[in-house]
Structure formats: structure tokens, C-alpha cells
Structure 1
């Protein structure tokens, strides 16, 4: 009997052809047959989750659609009704040819049954029975950018007014639009006035030109006409029913606009400020802190509830009864501050100077330190025109030791300060007396233009532009000093094997100012807990209240100009404490394009705050180390780091550059990146040398150092070239700075050898909440009068 024949069994390398794709999806029944009852692990864990049937999916989609619709209607009903605050409308003119108060009067007289009330701060309150809504209309003073931005922070809608005659949007209007968009623009409406005065055939053409000009800002918005009562009725109805935009930085906080402001002086130049208005956003806690934009942070004493001075009146009988109730009623006390639960105004941490393990120095060490201190030259920064007698009153702690100065390019003296002796000030006074004796008739026509020009400022601007161009062409390159050893000049610097991966201790050699700030263990978790907290105590939004703010300086009230809005924000916990803030900034594409130097004084408008600070700039990159930037170049994006009170993002940021004449230029916009004192900003210095003799992989380099000791000191630091070669110093040659270097590849004769050194830099404590007033409106008025 023959043995059974062996069957051929395919191996692992047998070709497997793909199945034909018929283009149909597998049904649920076929999937069940393939799985044969097997259940995935996710289905076992989540027993309540299962695949929905067709009717269940359809019902779920209907529920989601209804939920979104109800949320939209609820958002519209948050303002304008009898139990909610009025719709706050800001009227903004985008050119000098437009009168915003004329547009406000047209809205006021749009209907016969509109009830109008006025407040002491310049607001017009309209009660419209036909729409069952009420409006608060405010027009900021012309030319006052800060007032316009303050009212746009809290406005529900903004009414942009254009003119049919003249320029549609002038230069100031462009700046205002750029700032408003960066800050957070409320729901916009665009109107055009004076169209009725044009011929009928030209009206459509002019309106299309306006639409074309404004389309690059708001392409979806249509330009409406505002000339007749019917046009005003259409605009008013549109303001009442449009979908509201949510601005997170104000929705997370309570805020209100002062409808009435009264000040009761007390003693020592302080008093109680009574602010009356509608609470918006979140509940206002009497034990929390409030911030008045441009004024500062304050504590509350109590909150009272007077009768609503601008109710929604639907008929005349209710109007008469409401007026009688207002005459006979008195404010009710809603809440009184508890000193034990009230948040403190302490902004800085008080460090303990003895909180360290430090032994007491010996007598020899004290004598040695005193002798070194006497040898050091102290340089003081004093304002120009200050005599030696006046300079003696400035503390020595304000001076800087010459031995501890940073790079010469970064620590130049401020042009607004100088060390002036008494003899020089007397000479200046004599020169001024001589100039006053010259009459206007003696001044030639060609020099009338030059009489208001600051020559020193022009020279300083030219030097700064040159330095910025050199820094852009040769970033961080510096000549090695010949009069001092390089190992002494750059003793605070170190080399890094890799800028990205080399370690750097974030707590190493921190300045004393870091002992005064506060830091979060986990900032993201703290922010999440504070912003998602639902049951906040305090007076509810929509209430008409009078807030009593205590210990307000009287000078702030005297400084307030008529027509400037008083905007109050309720502060979140910890927002009074000082820390290190990092802000992402981008240069504006218009206006002043002069380079901005690091540590230059700038005006920041961060969220609801406005302050002056000298930031340091660094690159906006990933990683745990960031390179220091000496200049904020045009069309660039950087991160500005400075000391300021804590603020929780999202928060918009506007940066203004102050001018010598009191005006301000918008130079950058951005947003808050983080509150992180551990951000490492490294300043780089690049020393360059030139190949003298080139072999295969070795070369003799000169002009990087000028003595043998410096070469041995920097021998461990890696060398790089502009053509991408890497190497190291092998040995010095002679005593005049020549050295033999070895590279990974052959060096070209036109290449440049570089040595990179790094040092961590910190911002200076220059936070100043007192911002000088913008005098642009006053300048315009003086020019018109002349």
C-alpha cells in the first residue's frame, strides 16, 4: 500500500491579493456576523453607551438645535429689558468730518413715544415702548483715544458713523479701528450720514465707495443710512435685535459704567467715591477689589440700591407712578463690607533679609568690602537740568556700579536724563534769557520751522535707527574689548553646547526683586478654578446700584475731564498681586515704524489696566530658553516680559509709545501669554574671529582675543562659523591673541569664526500705574485756535 501523498501547504511568503472594493459600507448585520458576539473593551467599561437608532439620532439633533436657539435668545435677552441693564451703545466717529452727537440726537428723536433721561456723566437713556427695550447711548470726546477704548471695553454695541463728505476714515480712525479690533470689538453697526444732501444719482455710488473702504475691516457688515427718522428707527431696532458678541475678558468679570459719580472728601487728600450704574457680566462682591481704569485698585465700603433712574416705561400711567416713587424713596443697603473677609490691597511680598543661612562677616571682610565700594565709581541717572546740589538728594542706591554694568549697547544713558553740573545749568538759564530777548521779527522765515524741533532728540533717533540696522544685519555680534580682558568683561556669561537642549536652572542667581513677587504652583489649574466658579457671591447683574469706594485720592477726581467715562471692573482673586507677565506682541503696520529698544518706557493697556513699564524683549519660540532681543523690529513678533499685577488670560494688550509733546502712538498689539517668573530669557553675545592661515581641518584665527589668558579661559566653549562648521580651540599661539583651532571640516578663507556666550537677563522693577494724560485732543484744539 502506497503512503498518502503529502499536501502542499503555503508558507508565510504566499502572495495574498487584496479583496475587491465594491464601494459599499458593511452593514451592522454583517459586522455582527464577523464579530460573532464579541464585544470591545470600551463597550464593557461604558455600559450606558450604545449606538443610537436613526430616530434617536434625529431626535438628538433636534434637541441640540433647540438648545443653540434658546442660548441665542437668552444672550439677546441679557440686556435691554426691564430686569436687565440697558443696551449700552457707543457712537464712534471715524473722521473729523462727522459729529457723533448729531447721530445721537437723531436716535433720540426717532419716535414720538420715546422717553429720554440724561445722566450727569453725559449718557442719554432711551426707553422705547414699541420695542420694549431701553438703550444707553454715549459718545466719547473727539480725539480722545483712551476714552473711546474705555467705553468700548464695556459697550454692548458700537455704532460707527461715516460721512458722505470728505474722507471716509482718516488716520486717527484707522488707529482707533486697529486698537478696537485688537482689544475686542463689540457688536458693530455701520451708518453713513449726509447722504440725503447728495444728488440722487450719486448717493448709490458714494455708499458703494464707503462699503468698499470699510469692507477690509468688516466685510460682512452693510453700510446703513442715518438721515431721517425712519432710518433712525431701523438702526435702533437693529441695535436691539442683533446677535451679541461675547468678549471673554469682560464676561468673566463684573463691570459697570458710571452713570453718576460723586466724591465726598474726608482727610489727608482722600475720600469716598460713589459710583452709580448697572452691574454687568458677573456678580459684584463687596468684599472683593475693584479697578477703575486709569485710577487704580480700591476696596469697597458698601453697596446700596437706589431706585432705577432710567426704567422701561411702557405707558404714561407707569411713568407717573415711577416718578412719584423715585421722589419718595431712599437707597436701600444691599451689602456691607466685612473687614475680616475683605481682600487686602497688599500687592508685594515682604521678603525677610535674614531668611538665609549666612554667617556674619569678619572685620577683615568688612574692611575689604568698604575699600572696594569706595573705589567703584557710582553713576546716577538724573533729569536734564539737575544741578549737583539737587543730584545729591538722590539716593546712592539709584546709581549703578560701573563694574557691574551690562553691555555698552544695552545700558546707554537715557536721553531724557543726564548728569548736569550747577555751572552747566546756569549757562542754560543764561542762554534761555538770551533767546527770550530775541523778537519774532528777527527770526528769519527759513528758521520758523526749526524753532520747535528738538535737535538732540533727532540725533538720538538717528543713532537708534543705525544701531537697530546693525543689530539686524549682524545679530548679537560684539567687538572684543582691547582695553580690558575678555574674561573679566564677559565673566557673567557662559557657553552652551546646545541652546535648545542644554540645561539652565531657573532658580539660579535670581535678583532681589523676585523675592517681592508671587508665583503660582500651577497657574493653569488656578485659572481654571477661578474662571469656572459658578456660584459667585455679590450683587447680581442687572441691578442698579451705588458702589461706595473708600480711600480714593482726591487728585484723581480733580484730574478727570468732562465727558471721560468712568469704567469699573470687579477684580478676580489674586489679580492685585505682583508677578512676572509675558505678553505676545506684534508691530502695527502703520504709523511709527521706528525701532523700539528693549527696556524703553512704553504704555501698556493690558485687559482693564493701563500702566507704564520698561519691558525686555525675547523671541516667541518653543522650548525652555528664549533669546533676548535688543530691538523690537518693525513687522516682527516678540514676547515682552515685565513686572506687573497678575491677570488671568484671555486679556488683550495694546502698546503705546509716548512722545515728547504728550501724545501717544499705537506701536504694537497682542495678548497675554502667561504669568510665569520662570521664563528664561538669555542674552547672547557673539565674538567673531577671522582665519589667518587655513590647513585641512585646522586654522589659525586672530582678532577674537588679544591675550593668551583669554584664549585659555574660553578654551572649553565650542566654536561655530557662519558657513556651519563646528570646532574648538586647540592652543594659543604667541601672546597677542592668535590661536590654533580645529574644525569638523575644512574651513574656507572667507568664513568667520564665532564664539557664542549667554547670560540670563531679568526685567527691572519699573511698574508705574500712573499714566500721563494723552494731550492729543488739546493739541488739536490749540492748532485750530491758532
Structure 2
């Protein structure tokens, strides 16, 4: 009985492997999507793609309207789709790699000999870092242009390139394209090798566009986007939502099933010439039409009921109005010696309104660091050094026109504050202009940061009434993943056309028409369009050494999504309370918290910062949770000068400046 059970288990595993192989690249399946990328920005891999199209005289070669080159090899009974994104568009490269089954890295054999640069330059290193952080598909490394190198130096050059490639791919061996038939063997290797699994991609239906058509509505500024391509991974229902990176989340109106234009029955076309595929009258079959009663809603935020509010804490707008009313006070000119009772009888026409800013409270944040992202970060001035500015005006003619003086001064202030926070974390000086008990009235003393209680629901901002929270996030995630097996709709491997409705024309023109970026479509899982508080674990890269300030504008790519947020940073620790970090220092790890749509982990996270018009990868990580109850607490440490030390006490100077504060904090 045990022997029969082992045989059945072995047979089931073999069947699973065969079914996975047959579901990709076969006659009735989606072709292998191969992304060709150079590892040197000065090298163009177009010559390698041209050799792949001519490797087999019996190959059927076609090109789609979006620039995808289809190669069908009859002797292999396999199909390949080759794409080459622009090296000047980092987002286009990452979006293509989200869908690709295989990435073909091409290195020129002339690098280091005829080229002054190395086989993998700084641009290639940054590209590989982003690819590994996002989730790299099955890699292959090929070396071309070996014909231009003397025969005696070829082996040495290949060893040098293998050494550079082994730093990133220890288990991969380079494929040299120097003999006739090497390109055909390369395609054979792509079709037979084991495919690497990317979890966040394999759990969602996805599609790379072969043909895109925008149909504008005559009565409005929106239209229908028709995206054609091969569906991959899991089935897609017309009632589900789809997300297009760079364009947003939309609903589908219907799904069509046109005939596959790139199968083995089609005649061979010349690349760059007139294609006969678009001219054929192909019958289009409608697979599904959206049902309004079953279609998922685009509503991402909850509409709060003001009568259900249990919290009596005033909103920030109400606090600002009250603060302005307190600042405005009447000043009346009265004769010398008059009392306040006598001054009250003076008519209001003789009164003047002035604003008193001396008693303002500069700290507008609450202790609960789940504060509104729109609020100003108020404690920055506590850690700032005093800067004495010269009264002599700056001569613009003697200053470099390419540099911004104001930006340089703000960067210098930021670096000083970050250095001060690194040396003296959370330490601030007690202000002298206002009482300390008023300055720190929103703070509380904790006997123990780890064990002292703190209610995560108190003093929440009004935005928390508009977001969603799961009763048990992990249980919901497991249930959603389990239900994927019983999903209905268009099956993976079909060539389909998605009708994406209500796409704004201006957004479509700015995001794709002007940039010529590829269109990538992802199907969303249930609840992934709703807003919540997302926590991601980040680790700083070595590309940028500057510290990142909390609530600084950054560009995040979480899985298939990309958006701009102003996150707050906190320590990645155990427990239910986490200390707020004013700066995300280099070579450290932190948790970033921000409002964003829900996304079920695991999902990789890439964090970019825009510096002088270019995007720099400053941190990488993954999604930790979608939990609004994660309490982030801002801590302050009052500093002073140690004057005298006793056995059980000490005397500290310059910590408080009036007796009331001493008695209050005693």
C-alpha cells in the first residue's frame, strides 16, 4: 500500500510538471514572452533579435502593432514573443518584466576591448538591483559580437564576462552567440528550461498588449480602451476590476475572443513590412458581457456617517479655527490709569485687531503617529541648528546658474537635522518663549515603552473613517487565495480583447501615447481596490547616501501598482507600539506607513526618489501588512546640562526655565 501511494504521488507530481510545461509556448497556449535587455546602456541588442528571427529558415515570423516580434518554430512546436523595451524608460522595463516569462540579458563581447566601459556598467547594475527587488523571471545571459574579437582572445574575454555575470548570477552560465546555430539553441533553451515562479504575478491574471485601440466617446472626455493579448496565469472574469500601471484601476464592459493571429497557420510576414494579419476579416466572438449586479465597484473609500462618530476630539480644521480666534484679540487705546472695567466702555470703533503669534504652538501633530499625511511635520525645527544669515545680498551673477540656492540651503538644513537626530535621537531643547507644559501638552509619559498600554483607536484623524480594515487580515488573505482555484472566466492561454471602459483621454495621451510605453493589464483580487493603511518594510540601498525625511514625497511601486505618497517611518520591532523615526538613515531598515489601496502579500516594494529630474532607487523591501491599528508613537527626550551628580539624584541645568514647568514635570 505504501508503494502504491508513493507511485501515485510521483505520478501526480509528474503530471503537474507536464501540465505547467504544456501551458506555455505550445500550439494552443500563450507564447514564451522573452524580454531582451542589455546590461550596458551603450549597447543595442537589436542585432541579437535580428539573428533570432533568422535562425531557422522554416520559422514563421510576425510583428504585432505594438512591436512584439512573434517567432514560431515548427520543429520545436513552440512559439516565442520577443519584446525590447526602451532603455531610457525605467518604468517600461519594470512593467515588461512583470509579465515576461524569460529575461534575456545581452552583453557585448567587445566591452572592455573596443568599448571603454565594462560588460556591466553602473546603469546595468542599477537595473539588475531593481529587477531582483521586483521579482526576476527566468534569466538567461547571452554574449554577442564575438566575431569582432581575435580568436586567441575570445576565451579570455568570455571568462572575464562570466566573472562579471557571476557576481549577480552565481548559478548561470553565459551563452555565446558566435557560431551558426547558437541562436536556435538559445531558443531551445528558453523553451525547455524550468520557469521561475513570481508569486504576486502568478496569483493574478495578467496580459501584455499586442494591440491597443482607444475609442473616444462623443458625449464625454472618456472612452473605451481595447487591449488585445494573451491571458496568462489564472482565469479573468469580466466582472473583476483590472489595473493598468500608469493609468489606474477600471471596470470591463466585455471580453472578446478573436482568432489567434500568430498561430502556425498564418503565412510568414516580413518584419517591418506590411502585415496581412490586420487586413484579414476575422470573426470576433464575445466571451462575456459585464453584469452590473455582479460587477465589482470602483468605490475605494468608505463614506462616513457623521452621526456615527464616537470620538469627540476636534478635527484639524476646527483646531485651526479656534487657534485663529484665540490669536485675534482687541487692543484699545485707553487713557493712562484706566482699569479694564473702564476700558470695556470704549466703543468698538476705536479698537484695533492685531494678531499675537507669541503664544502659538508649533507642534500640530498628535501623539498618535497614524496622523494625516497632509499635516505638516512640526518637530523638524526642534532638531535644527541655528543658522546665522548674512545681511549682504547674494550676487546672482557670481553664483552658478545651474544650482538652486534655496534648494541647497534646505538640503543643508536637512542634512544637519538628520546628523543631529542620528547622534542625539529624539532629543530636543525646551523652548524658552512658551511654557514647556503647553509645548508638550499632547505628549504623555510612559513608564515602559514596551508594556505600557496605548489604545490604537484614540485620537484618530477624520481620514480613518474613510478607509477599510479587516477583522482578520491573514484569514481573509488565505480565503481569497483559496478561492482562486474555482475562478471562472476567460482561460489562460487564450488570445482575448479587453474592453476597458471610462478611460480619460487626457490621461491616456499623457501616460502612453506620448511616451510609447507598453500597456500591461493586471486583474485585481477581491478588496484590492479599497483604501487602507499599508505598512511596508524597507531597506536602504547604496545608490543614495542622503537620509530620507518622514513625510517626504517618494514614488512607491508595490507589486503591480505605482503611486506617489508621503510616508512616515518607524522602527521595525516586535510589540504593539513602534517608535516614530524622523529620518530614514542610510544602511538601515525601517517600516514605511501610508494610505494606499489594499494589496495582499507577498508583494515586492521599490521606493524611488526624484533627484534633478531622474528617478533613483533609494530603498527596497516588501509589504508587511495592511493594518490601520499599527501604532506609531513619536517620542521626545528633554535634554539639559548635567551640573551635579549625587548617589540617588542629579542636578540638571537648562532643562526648564520657570518654576511652573518644574512642578508640572516633577
1:521 to 460, 466, 471: 471
RMSD: 2.7
Match among 123, 135, 154 for residue 172 of structure 1: 123
Correspondence list, 1:28-107, <5 A: 57=2, 60-107=5-52
Please name the residue that 2:83 is paired with: 138
> Structure 2 vs 1, CA of residues 370 and 625 (structure 1 numbering), >3 Å: closer, same or farther?
closer
Report the CA distance shift for 1:688/1:139 in structure 2 as closer, same or farther (over 3 A): same
Q: Secondary structure at the match of 1:461?
A: helix
**Residue 510 (structure 1) shift:** 0.7
SS in 2 for 1:201: helix
Q: Is contact 1:127–1:313 with CA below 8 Å preserved after alignment?
A: no
Deviation at 1:491, TM superposition (A): 0.4
Equivalent in the alignment of 1:242? 193
Give CA-to-partner distance per residue, 1:234-288, whole Å, 9 cap, x none: 1110010010011110111100011000001113311000000011111111011
Deviation of residue 374 (structure 1)? 2.8
Match of residue 612 from structure 1: 564
- Who is 2:655 aligned against? 704
Alignment of 1:547-586 (within 5 A): 547-559=498-510, 560=512, 561=514, 563-586=516-539
Q: Deviations over 1:743-786 (max 9, x none)?
A: xxxxxxxxxxxxxxxxxxxxxxxxxxxxxxxxxxxxxxxxxxxx
| Residue 621 of structure 1 pairs with residue 558 of structure 2 | no
Alignment check: 8 A CA contact 1:479 1:688 kept: yes
CA contact (8 A) 2:238 2:252 kept: yes
| Deviation at residue 324 of structure 1 after TM alignment | 10
2:433 to 463, 476, 483: 483
More off after superposition, 149-158 vs 228-237: 228-237
Aligned length in residues: 595
- Given that residues 121 and 563 in structure 1 are in contact (C-alpha distance below 8 angstroms), is that contact kept between their aligned partners in structure 2? no
Q: Tell me if the contact between 2:554 and 2:609 (Cα under 8 Å) persists in the aligned partners.
A: yes
Contact 1:106 1:229 in 2 (8 A): no
State whether residues 568 and 593 of structure 2, in contact with CA within 8 Å, keep that contact through their aligned partners in structure 1: yes
Q: Can you list the C-alpha shifts for 1:664-703, whole angstroms capped at 9, x where unaligned?
A: 1010100000000000001110012344333332333322
Are 1:157 and 2:102 matched, yes or no? yes
- Would the alpha carbon gap of residues 357 and 543 (structure 1) be closer, same or farther in structure 2, given more than 3 Å must change? closer
Q: Which of 176, 186, 204 is matched with 2:155 structurally? A: 204
1:611-648 Cα distance to aligned partner (Å, 9 max, x none)? 00000000011111111111111111000000000000
* Aligned counterparts, 1:766-777, within 5 A: none
> What residue is the counterpart of 1:327 in the other structure?
280
CA 1:211 to 1:371, structure 2 compared with 1: closer, same or farther past 3 Å?
closer
Question: What's the offset of the Cα at 1:58?
Answer: 5.2
Which residues in structure 2 correspond to 1:195-594 (within 5 Å)?
195-266=146-217, 267-313=219-265, 327-356=280-309, 372-376=323-327, 405-406=364-365, 410=378, 450-533=400-483, 534-559=485-510, 560=512, 561=514, 563-589=516-542, 591-594=543-546
2:355 alignment partner in structure 1: none
Offset at residue 528 of structure 1 (A):
0.5
Shift of 1:69: 3.4
Cα displacement string for residues 416-463 of structure 1 (whole angstroms, at most 9, x for unaligned residues): xxxxxxxxxxxxxxx9xx99xxxxxxx99xx7xx32122222222222
* 1:39-70: CA deviation from partner (whole Å, max 9, x where unpaired): xxxxxxxxxxxxxxxxx555554544444333
Unaligned runs of 5+ in 2: 112-117, 269-275, 329-359, 367-375, 382-393
Name the SS of the counterpart of 1:264 in structure 2.
strand
1:595 maps to: 547
Stretches of structure 1 that go unaligned for 5 or more consecutive residues are 1-55, 317-322, 362-366, 378-400, 414-430, 436-442, 716-786
Q: Deviations over 1:186-225 (max 9, x none)?
A: 0000001111210111111111111111111110100111
Residue 646 of structure 1 is aligned with which of 581, 598, 613?
A: 598
1:185 positional shift: 0.3
| Matched residue, 1:39 | none
Residue 293 of structure 1, CA deviation = 0.7
Work out the CA distance in 1 between the residues paired with 2:74 and 2:319. 85
Q: Is the 8 A contact 1:133 1:312 kept in 2?
A: no
| RCO higher in structure (CA 8 A, sep ≥6) | 2
The within-5 A match list for 1:650-669 is 650-659=602-611, 661-669=612-620
CA contact (8 A) 1:109 1:229 kept: no
Distance 2:418 2:250 in 1: 42
**SS of 1:531 mapped into structure 2:** helix
C-alpha contact (below 8 Å) 2:207/2:522 kept by paired residues:
yes
Q: Distance in 2 between matches of 1:454 and 1:528?
A: 51
Distance 1:673 1:183 in 2: 15
Partner of 1:721: none
SS in 2 for 1:161: strand
Q: CA deviation at 1:78?
A: 1.8
Aligned to 1:116: 61
Structure of greater Rg: 1
